[in-house]
Structure 1
Amino acid sequence: MSSWERQLKILEFLCIVRHETCSNLAFRFGVSDATDIAVLMCRFPVETSRGRYRGGVWVADGYYLYRNAGHNELDTEQTAVLRRMMLLADEHDRSVISGILVQFAPRPIVP
Structure 2
Amino acid sequence: MDAMERRCQIIEILCDAKMRIKMRDLASRFNVSIRTIRTDVDVLSLTYPIQTTRGRYNGGIGFIDGYRPKNARLTPTQRDFLYRIMRKVSKSDQEIVQSILHDFALTQ
Q: TM-score range by the shorter chain?
A: 0.5 to 0.7
The 3-state SS of whatever aligns with 1:108 is: helix
**In structure 1, which of residues 65, 73, 76 is the aligned counterpart of residue 69 of structure 2?**
65
The two structures, once aligned, show a CA RMSD in angstroms of 2.4
Matched, 1:109 2:106: no
Matches within 5 A, 1:24-103: 24-33=25-34, 34-67=38-71, 69=72
Contiguous gaps of at least 5 residues in structure 1: 71-106
Q: 1:66 to 1:2 in 2, by over 3 A?
A: farther
Distance 2:41 2:67 in 1: 16
Q: Which string of whole-angstrom CA distances, capped at 9 and with x for unpartnered residues, describes residues 54-111 of structure 1?
A: 11111123333342x39xxxxxxxxxxxxxxxxxxxxxxxxxxxxxxxxxxxx92238
Partner of 1:17 in structure 2?
17
Higher-Rg member (1/2): 1
- When normalised by structure 2's length, the TM-score is 0.57
% identity of equivalent residues: 41
Distance 2:55 2:46 in 1: 22
- When normalised by structure 1's length, the TM-score is 0.56
The answer as to whether partners of 1:46 and 1:57 remain within 8 angstroms in 2 is yes
Distance 2:60 2:49 in 1: 14
The 3-state SS of whatever aligns with 2:62 is: strand
Distance 2:41 2:48 in 1: 10
